[in-house]
Each structure stands twice: as C-alpha cells, then as structure tokens.
Amino acid sequence: MRHASLYRVGGYALVLGGLAAMIGIWLHPPQPMSLAEASALPQAQWQLSHWLLALGTALTIGGFVALIRHFGASASEGWAAVGLGIAVLGAANIITVVAPEVGSFSMLVGREGDVAAQHAYEAINTHLMGLIPVAATLFWVGIGCFALALSRDAAFPRWLGLLGVAVAVVELASGFLVEENWNLARLLYSLGNIWIALFGAFAARVATAVPAAAPTAAAGVH
C-alpha cells in the first residue's frame, strides 16, 4: 500500500474530474456548424462548459496518475500502465479540441458578416470534428484498460473494475452509433464520468485503510 494521501488526493481528483466533465457536457449545446449559429449562443455558458470539460479531463488524468502507483509491482501493473498511457493521449486530444473553442471561436463570434471569418470558423470546426472521435476512442480505451487492471486488484471490488470495462465499451460504441443524437450522447458520456467519480470515491475510502507511515528515526554519527 502507498501513502494514504495518494488515495485521498487521487480519489478526490477523480470525483471532481468526473463531476466537472459531466456538468460541462450538459452545459454544452449541440455543436454550431456555422459562425452565425455560434454567435447566437450564450457565450458565458459556452465558455463555462468548455472550461469544465478541460478541467474535468485534467483532474481525471491527474487522479489516474496518482493512483497508478497503487498497481506498482502487482499482476495488474501492465494493464494499468498501458491504460494510463492511452488515456493521456486521448486527454491531450480532448484539450486540443477544447482550446480553440474557448480561444479561437471567441475571436470570431459576432463577425458572421465577414466572409473570411466564416471560412476560418468552418475550417477550425471541421478540424475539431475530426479530432473528437480520435480523442474519445483513445480516452475510453485507456479507461477500459485501467478498469481491467482494477478488476484484478484485491483492494477494490471486482465488480467496480468490470463495470468500468463495460462502461468503456459502451462509450466506444456510442461514438459510432449515437453521434447524431446529442442528448443520448451526453447521457452516455455522463455515465462514463459517473463511473470515474465512483472509482474515485472508492479510492478515497482506501485511504482510511492505509496505516500511517512510521516516523523515521534520525540517526546521528558521533
């Protein structure tokens, strides 16, 4: 067992990350495909939704980085390490998608009468729409691998890991099957983040079972 703070801080990071991403996706309207549609949206809500998605993604990865040390030298370490690596790549792409939507788009909003601005918006948006399925696929494949490691670890309920694997499979399938139904897509994405928060809650509870480290006696040489 690692130090209790590893489970407590890492677990709470997952809880906050899952909740932030879930709130962010429900604040996010259907993606505007034109600059005129983007300009008609409430900009404060648009900005908040994307900042929550970015923060939730970052906290989730931070939580997994903290908790991967739990699997050190165990039979599940390989799956956990591979899962974390893939999830980090997916998260990096998610942040790459979010950044232009809070930065570049805000500079174009209100300029729908400018042909150059319209073309710029459409070019950026098309690029982002191509990144999203790649980002989501990598992220949930990584989460699924991590959940598989979790299912083989005695410190956590086996059902929690198996549920995570099932959730990851559902998330991967939803990216190809329900992309046209925004409300259903948001619901399924929320279920994935509920599992992340649930795992975090269990990890934080592990902290209470980890004995405090004994103080190291200072040894002096005389």
Distance CA 210, CA 142 (A): 27
Q: Where are the domains of the chain?
A: 4-209
Residue-level pLDDT at 209? 56
pLDDT tens, residue by residue, 75-88? 889 999 999 999 99
pLDDT tens, residue by residue, 156-167? 999 999 999 999
Mean pLDDT of the chain: 89
pLDDT tier at 220 (50, 70, 90 boundaries)?
Answer: very low
Indicate the Cα dihedral angle 99, 104, 105, 111, nearest 10°: 180
pTM of the model: 0.88
E-only strand ranges, the chain: none
